[in-house]
A and B are shown apart, each in its own frame.
Chain A
Amino acid sequence: MDFISGAWAVMKKDILEEYRARYAFNTTLLFCVTCLVMVSYSLGGAVTDPMLQSAMLWVILFFSAMTGLSRAFIKEEDKGTMNTLRLCCRADHVFYGKTAMNFLMMSSVIVIVAPLFIILLNVNMRHVGYFALTTALATVGLSAVSALLSAIVAQARARGMLFPVLAFPALMPVFLTAVRATGMSLAEAAPWTGGGELVFLAAYAVAATVGGGFLFEYVFSEQ
């Protein structure tokens, strides 16, 4: 399908670039791990409430995402390759390719950070499947919205500061719901009460990818 091969072309290019430079992944991972270590150290092994542990994890992940995912389009604009993308690719291919790349990067970071989180904060992960599923869905929503906002910010000034300012309100729904969902996966009760959170995260993921793809056209193309 033309659509998938187009998006894959963009993603493949990003993967190659990232593999050679390894800038975004390294900084994101390093930031995440550093924060986690600092939090764990300052808690000093104190037993904490599952909701609090969940909140700490997601605060760390979100700030890491702010540093790591904002570069998606800023780099393209700075190097002048944004015009190349405009000339050769369809807007929606670029959006979905970048969203997929963001997802790949954040998932890779989370795969490394989640076990560390469990170890360093003495977390009792009771429902792994639920945690994995809700985290994956939250990451999809996060990736799509970050891609759109990165494209917006790349065309403005004061990018570094502007991105978190724009992103925080837009990502609040994911953030709050993910905190609740993860809290439930750490807590006593079985999370069949967590159905609402799952549905919401899925709905947000769908809305973000579809809506984002639609709005992206207006951000990306000059015409």
Chain B
Amino acid sequence: MERLLEGLILENVGKRFGPRPIFSGISFSVSLGEAMCLWGPNGAGKSTLLKIAAGLARPSSGSATCSFGGRSGKPLEFRNSIGVCAPDVALYDELSPEENLDFLSRARGAKRDKAHERELMESFSLEGFANAPLGTFSSGMRQRFKLIAALAHRPRALLLDEPSSFMDEAGRARVESIVASLKNSTALLVATNDPAERAWCGSTVSLGGDKFC
């Protein structure tokens, strides 16, 4: 694997729960401007593989690393360069979107780009709800805000797990257009079993059948 690559690199990654293997021998890289799809039926391990790439789960074998700005290391070391939107990654219900975004930026040690945030809120039709607690949102609204939170800090790598879930037609169209606008500057990894989402991506890793596609 070329170390000069900017993006996500997975080498020989395998995962098992107990002695039961889910997948093994997965190697790929996603650099800036590339889009990779993790494809497979429910239970195939797409979400787990995505979490391994994000640094949220430990692979049973192999390694998941990142390389940005000439530096490489574990994904969690690149808090400011990675954005994740997944079912297992929730935000704070008692806090409003404004407070959530404030917390996320303070935690990352990054400055907030309020103009960019406002733009995102408007594009997802949530600008009127910036100060309402997240717990009062519908599931569609919550999913939209999760995406906003993943995009707000302009990450160089975007990891999405079924991003269009809970969304209506308008929402899906919105997600698709945002993804299209980011594709050239971001490394995109999408875990899904929705063909429409798979269509955003240039290459695919198939799980739960052939290991590599």
Binds A, one of B4-12, B50-58, B194-202: B50-58
CA–CA, A223 and B103, complex, Å? 23
What's the nearest-Cβ distance from chain B to residue A8, in Å?
Answer: 8
Query: A80-B88, A87-B79 known; A17 and B106 CB under 8 Å?
Result: no
What's the nearest-Cβ distance from chain B to residue A72, in Å?
Answer: 14
In the complex, B104 has a CB within 8 A of chain A: yes
Binds A, one of B18-26, B29-37, B89-97: B89-97
User: 8 Å CB contacts to B: which residues of A64-106?
Assistant: 79-81, 83-90, 93
Cβ of B89: which chain A residues have Cβ within 8 Å of it? 80, 83-84, 87
Structural contact, B103 and A12, CB atoms closer than 8 A: yes
CA–CA, A76 and B109, complex, Å? 21
CA–CA, A164 and B82, complex, Å? 37
Structural contact, A17 and B94, CB atoms closer than 8 A: yes
CB 8 Å contact bits of A1-15 with B (1 = contact, 0 = none)? 010011011101100
Structural contact, A222 and B56, CB atoms closer than 8 A: yes
In the complex, A108 has a CB within 8 A of chain B: no
Structural contact, A87 and B94, CB atoms closer than 8 A: no
In the complex, B76 has a CB within 8 A of chain A: yes
User: 8 Å CB contacts to A: which residues of B70-104?
Assistant: 74, 76, 79, 82, 84, 86-95, 99, 103-104
Structural contact, A21 and B94, CB atoms closer than 8 A: yes
Structural contact, A88 and B92, CB atoms closer than 8 A: no
Interface size on A, residues (CB 8 A): 27
CA–CA, A205 and B89, complex, Å? 33
CA–CA, A13 and B134, complex, Å? 14
Cβ of B79: which chain A residues have Cβ within 8 Å of it? 87-90
Structural contact, A81 and B57, CB atoms closer than 8 A: no
Instruction: Summarize A's interface: helix, strand, loop or mixed.
Output: helix
Structural contact, B76 and A5, CB atoms closer than 8 A: no
Query: A2-B109, A20-B133, A222-B56 known; A13 and B103 CB under 8 Å?
Result: yes
CA–CA, A80 and B56, complex, Å? 12
Q: Closest A residue to B80 by CB, please name it.
A: A88
Structural contact, A81 and B92, CB atoms closer than 8 A: yes
Q: Closest B residue to A97 by CB, please name it.
A: B107
Structural contact, B76 and A223, CB atoms closer than 8 A: yes
CA–CA, A105 and B133, complex, Å? 23
Structural contact, B103 and A221, CB atoms closer than 8 A: no
Structural contact, A88 and B104, CB atoms closer than 8 A: yes
Option from B95, B99, B106 in Cβ contact (under 8 Å) with A5: B106
In the complex, B112 has a CB within 8 A of chain A: no
Structural contact, A17 and B95, CB atoms closer than 8 A: yes
Query: A5-B109, A6-B106, A9-B103 known; A87 and B95 CB under 8 Å?
Result: no
What are some 25 contacts across the A-B interface (CB < 8 A)?
Answer: A2-B109, A9-B106, A12-B103, A12-B106, A13-B92, A13-B103, A16-B95, A79-B90, A79-B92, A81-B91, A83-B84, A83-B89, A84-B92, A86-B55, A86-B56, A87-B54, A87-B76, A87-B84, A89-B79, A93-B107, A222-B57, A222-B58, A223-B55, A223-B74, A223-B76
Q: Which 7 A-B pairs have the closest CB atoms?
A: A80-B90, A9-B106, A20-B94, A88-B107, A89-B107, A83-B89, A13-B103
Given contacts A80-B87, A88-B107, A221-B76, 12 further A-B pairs with CB under 8 A are: A5-B106, A5-B109, A12-B103, A17-B94, A17-B95, A83-B51, A83-B84, A86-B76, A87-B82, A88-B108, A89-B108, A222-B57
